[in-house]
Amino acid sequence: MALLQIPVNSDSGNYEFKTTLEGIKYIFAFRYNTRMGRWIMNIKSSADISLVAGIPLLLGVDYLSTFQDSRLPPGQLFLINLEDENVECGRNDLGVNALLMYEESS
């Protein structure tokens, strides 16, 4: 199983990009919620159809395992903090200290 780093960053508080996971194209959207002090993630199909929305990026969570939707990537999607595994991702950490990782299903 391959471990891939999803190319996220904290340059903008609201952005999206396209990426391919296990041969399927997805649109990932991120925004920083200042009230919550958290990054929020949405995943859409390549046809711009929302698959999941409003997921707060927290450490120790496999974001995809909680959803039963065959259109979602089949692997595991999770956040790691390179500096301190007990510190959540702040406004300027995404893509720097906090990396979004995807582990392929096979």
How far apart CA 38 and CA 31 sit, in angstroms, is 9
Residue closest to 80 by CA, chosen among 93, 67, 92, 91: 93
- Which residues fall within 8 angstroms of residue 1, CB to CB, at 6 or more apart? 75, 103, 104, 105, 106
φ/ψ of residue 95, rounded to 5: 85, -5
Residue pLDDT, tens place only, 23-71: 999 999 999 999 999 999 999 999 999 999 999 999 989 999 999 999 9
pTM (two decimals): 0.92
Strands, sheet with 14-21, edge to edge from the N-terminal-most edge strand: 14-21, 24-33, 38-45, 50-56
